[in-house]
Amino acid sequence: MREAVAALVRDGDTVAIEGFTHLISFAAGHEIIRQGRRDLTLARLTPDVIYDQMVAAGVARKLVFSWLGNPGVGGLHAIRRVTEGDGATLELEEYSHFGMVARYTAGAANLPFFPLRSYFETDLPAANPLIRPIESPYGDGLVYAVPPLRPDVTIVHAQRASAAGDTQVWGLLGCQKEAAFAADRVIVVVEELVEEAVIRADPNRTILPGLVVDAVVVEPWGAHPSYVQGAYDRDNRFYLDWDPISRSVEATDAWLREWVYELDGRAAYVEKLGAERLASLRPSAAAPSGSVDYGEYR
Amino acid sequence: MSAGDGVSGVEGGAPAAFSRSEMMIVAAARELAGQRVCFVGVGLPNIAVNLAKRTVAPDLELVYEAGVFGARPARLPLSIGDPTIVTGATAVTSMFELFAFYLQGGLVDVGFLGAAQIDRFGNINTTVIGPYDHPTTRLPGSGGACEIAINARQVFVIMRQSRRSFVERIDFRTSPGNLGGGEASARIRREQGWLGRGPSVVVTDLGIWHFADDGEMRLDALHPGATLDQVRDTIGWQPRIADDLATTPPPTDEELRLIRVELDPAGAYTK
């Protein structure tokens, strides 16, 4: 992870750590904090606790997002401190979920904009002038356009990938595929590195080919406290605990010291969490998919 | 909510104590009778929708914005993207497919929204309190709410009443309701090709509001134990009250059992 972030994430970059509640690469976020990146534009539908931590650590200049909160808990207090009242220093560019997804889609497909039936009669286009009304060229009415989002770097977490970067995901898919294809550089973080034959045995599950992936990092538990379908559950206690921590600048700084700056990587973080905490996050039982037969055709 | 908020209803002769949150959930669930496809939110809507599926709307399909159609959550989801909404579902979709094909494509009958502020016409603010550029409170923003309000065939709102939330004028319009009134809203929706007809019900801790033809919400039912004075004290305009104001039937024993035993055994949302 250290090498991947050092080589691929630069000061001033637009960085998208995607994954909708599922597969959020906290490991990459923490490494970016440790390496002291500055002036990043952080893009993500739901900034979640990871961007709250990154904003608290001073890596970000701007947020591009659609829903700002600690999901299921409440607000993101480090972000609120720099977005409310006269102390607002963090630049915000906000859309709706579909608007953000459409932006990545336009970026991935090399389109100048993406049209959607949203934003009518709302204050969002006034708050963000990049959301613009356009008439259909076929004369059948008004839609709203959003511009492409092409991150300098997209970082996604996945269940598994080959060494070449062919990446497979199951469970919620979010918009990782769109965000990665839209990006200039892509880092994939996985629970498990697998042989190419494993990928080729189930090609329907591949969301990214190695063609678009610049680095593969193997980092078990790298999505904690978010979750990985089939491997571990969301650590809800963490999300609840973050609320009082993030309300205090001192407590937030102390947390970052203890869990990010004073650790040299994810392995140390996982060890510090402890076996008992990890074991409590395992699924209550297995629920394997049935297998399908792709057939052989010679 | 404290135990003091609980009230007693009489159902089949035996009084059953229930909380106001439980009454909200039950009232919202009953409104889903006959509906087929519902876009779910976390918290109270999630419990209401799952209760409806077990009672008045067994064929209800649960859609989650995270990209799931036909979810069968085995536990109360902790967030909008809980792994339990995936296991056993009919389909997992990308978020693009979910918003483009299912929602914008017109397949969603009911979308559930919450609100920090709502006005008499059901327009909703979840973005900021105060001016946009330097708000006194920064709220989450739209998420999927804006496009749900426009594309779901109808919108249900579930929220508690207070002078801070039921306001004469919202600070920011995140999700359109009946705009400036029913006639203008119907015309704009028709002209611009919106699929949604707009908000149809607001369920609060005090009662059930539907929308009159002129687009303004009207209190059609008071929950057992709630009073009109409480309603007027928790709303920022002169509310319209139905001439034939009803009393919401209290939760049945079975509805309470489903909530307490199956849907929210820890009482996270219902105490």
Q: A41 and A62 in contact (C-beta within 8 Å)?
A: yes
Residues A200 and A238 both lie in one domain: yes
Q: Is the pLDDT of residue B9 over 70?
A: no
Q: Is the pLDDT of residue B12 over 50?
A: no
DSSP A282: S
Q: How confident is the model at residue B78 (pLDDT cuts 50, 70, 90)?
A: confident
- Name chain B contacts of A121, Cβ cutoff 8 Å: 173, 176, 179, 188
Q: A167 and A213 in contact (C-beta within 8 Å)?
A: yes
Give every CB contact of residue B143 below 8 A, 6+ residues apart in sequence. Answer: A46, A66, A67, A96, A97, B65, B126
B78 touching A (Cβ < 8 Å): yes
pLDDT tens track, chain A, 298 positions: 999 999 999 999 999 999 999 999 999 999 999 999 999 999 999 999 999 999 999 999 999 999 999 988 999 999 999 998 877 899 999 999 999 999 999 999 999 999 999 999 999 999 999 999 999 999 989 999 999 999 999 999 999 999 999 999 999 999 999 999 999 999 999 999 999 999 999 999 999 999 999 999 999 999 999 999 999 999 999 999 999 999 999 999 999 999 999 999 999 999 999 999 999 999 999 999 999 999 999 9
A141: its two tokens:
């009415």
Chain centroid to Cα A107, Å, comes to 16
Residues A66 and A22 both lie in one domain: yes
Angle at B180 between CA B177 and CA B183, to 5 degrees: 90
Q: Is the pLDDT of residue B10 over 50?
A: no
Residues A122 and A191 both lie in one domain: no
Of B92, B139, B151, the CB nearest to A117: B151
Q: Each residue of B238-252: pLDDT tens digit?
A: 999 999 999 999 999
The pLDDT value given to residue B142? 97
A98 touching B (Cβ < 8 Å): yes
Residues A42 and A159 both lie in one domain: yes
The pLDDT value given to residue A88? 82
Residues A78 and A206 both lie in one domain: yes
Q: Please indicate, yes or no, if residue A60 is contained in any of the structural domains.
A: yes
To the question of pTM greater than 0.90 for the whole model, the response is yes
Q: Please indicate, yes or no, if residue A294 is contained in any of the structural domains.
A: no
**Catalytic residue check, B216:** no
Collapsing DSSP to helix, strand or coil, B198 comes out as: coil
Residues A17 and A129 both lie in one domain: no
Residues A135 and A215 both lie in one domain: no
The pLDDT value given to residue B6? 53
Residue whose pair of structure tokens reads 């929210």 in the numeric block: B264
Residues A218 and A99 both lie in one domain: yes
**Distance, CA of B19 to CA of B28 (rounded, Å):** 14
Residue-wise burial string across A151-171, b where 16 or more C-beta atoms lie within 10 A, e elsewhere: bbbbbbbbbbbbeebbbbbbb
Strands A132-135 and A153-161: unpaired
- Stated length of chain B: 271
**Distance, CA of A241 to CA of A62 (rounded, Å):** 26
Residues A125 and A197 both lie in one domain: no
Residues A15 and A127 both lie in one domain: no
By CA distance, what is A84's nearest residue in B? B135
Average pLDDT for residues B2-30, to the nearest whole number? Answer: 71
Collapsing DSSP to helix, strand or coil, A156 comes out as: strand
- Can you give the residue range of the structural domain that contains A46? 2-111+148-279
**Distance, CA of A89 to CA of B164 (rounded, Å):** 27
DSSP B109: S
Mean pLDDT rounded to a whole number for chain B: 92
Number of domains chain A contains: 2
Residue whose pair of structure tokens reads 């607001």 in the numeric block: B202
**Identified catalytic residue from B11, B22, B61, B65:** B65
Residue-wise burial string across B166-193, b where 16 or more C-beta atoms lie within 10 A, e elsewhere: bbeebbbbbbbbbbeebeebbeebeeee
Residues A138 and A155 both lie in one domain: no
The pLDDT value given to residue B11? 44
Residues A103 and A128 both lie in one domain: no
ipTM over 0.95: yes
The pLDDT value given to residue B173? 98
Collapsing DSSP to helix, strand or coil, A155 comes out as: strand
Looking at the domain B21-263, which fold is it? Glutaconate Coenzyme A-transferase (3.40.1080)
Residue whose pair of structure tokens reads 């209803």 in the numeric block: B9
